Amino acid sequence: MIKPDGMERPIVAVRKQLKSLDEIKDAMLTACRIMDHFGLIQGFGHVTSRIPGTANILVTPKKAPGLARKEELVVVDMNGKTVAGTATPLGEIAMHLGIYRKRPDVGAVCRFHSEMASVFGALKRSVKVIHALGYVLGPEIKVLDSSDIRHTPEVTAEMGRLIADSWGVIFRGNGAATFGANVIDACVRAMFFEESARIQYKASLIGTPAYLSAAEVDRRNETYWNMPEYDVYARAWEYYSSKVSP
């Protein structure tokens, strides 16, 4: 296949669709292991996903994500009430539900406490698009100036404003979350968030970073990343998941 830049590249499989509940469960546990393996989470964090064809959400249990087992995943409704499962669901369910209510296009959320999320939260500084893969985050990932994610109406409203046009949010003093159409998208965005933030941080130590312009991001949208025969998420997921396969 010849791409618009004239270079020939092999075709990469298009994005994997997670259609069954079992596929979603497997992807959630893989995402937990990926974020654990690459240091985005240690004992704290979680993953949630909408369950297609229902109004319910599948959530990880209240334990270290890297140790979660399939039988411990819990189904809750949009009020946070347990529908199925015996384990204790994650404690920050209100934050996840707030994202799902604000963004009907979001199918999954990854929550993590990475080093760079803590750094940028402490600085109250957005993570911007600084390299090609950062495009998937949206214009920028902004900071919610609150470490309290029990989500009062005021905090929920402010978070909704910040995530209107991006695929993540940083919580000052309390990590970050990324989201996507499914668990694969959300997890890959978490990885690219950390990479983007690290590059931005290191570049800032030397001088003033040169961010990708809106026009540059739009061009990538139009000519590269959204090609039906090439999916950056599928390629990244294949690599990351290979590092945590049994």
- Between the CA of residue 99 and those of 104, 157, 164, what are the distances in Å? 8, 10, 10
Dihedral sign computed on CA atoms, order 81, 170, 241, 11: positive
Residue 12 counted as domain residue: no
Per-residue pLDDT of the chain in tens (246 residues, 90 and over written 9):
233 334 343 433 345 678 899 999 999 999 999 999 999 998 999 999 999 999 999 999 999 999 999 999 999 999 999 999 999 988 888 889 999 999 999 999 999 999 999 999 999 999 999 998 888 888 899 999 987 766 677 788 889 999 998 999 999 999 999 999 999 999 999 999 999 999 999 999 999 999 998 888 877 767 665 566 667 888 899 999 999 987
Q: Which of 232, 224, 209 is nearest to 131 (CA)?
A: 209
Residue 124 counted as domain residue: yes
Residue 123 counted as domain residue: yes
**Cα end-to-end distance, the chain, whole Å:** 34
Number of separate domains in the chain: 1
Residue 50 counted as domain residue: yes
Question: Crossing angle for the helix pair 115-123 and 183-206, nearest 10 degrees?
Answer: 60
Question: What pLDDT is attached to residue 223?
Answer: 66
Alpha-helix runs per DSSP H in the chain? 21-37, 93-102, 115-123, 153-162, 183-206, 214-220, 232-242
Q: Which of 76, 36, 39, 83 is nearest to 60 (CA)?
A: 76
Residue 198 counted as domain residue: yes
Q: Which of 10, 56, 6, 45 is nearest to 175 (CA)?
A: 45
Q: Tell me how far apart the alpha carbons of residues 20 and 37 are, in angstroms, rounded to a whole number.
A: 26
Question: What pLDDT is attached to residue 227?
Answer: 67
CATH label of the domain that carries residue 70: 3.40.225.10
Q: Tell me how far apart the alpha carbons of residues 60 and 62 are, in angstroms, rounded to a whole number.
A: 7
Q: Which of 198, 196, 173, 159 is nearest to 122 (CA)?
A: 173
The whole domain housing 61 covers 21-239
Q: Which of 162, 139, 142 is nearest to 221 (CA)?
A: 139
Type of residue found at 40? L
Residue 6 counted as domain residue: no
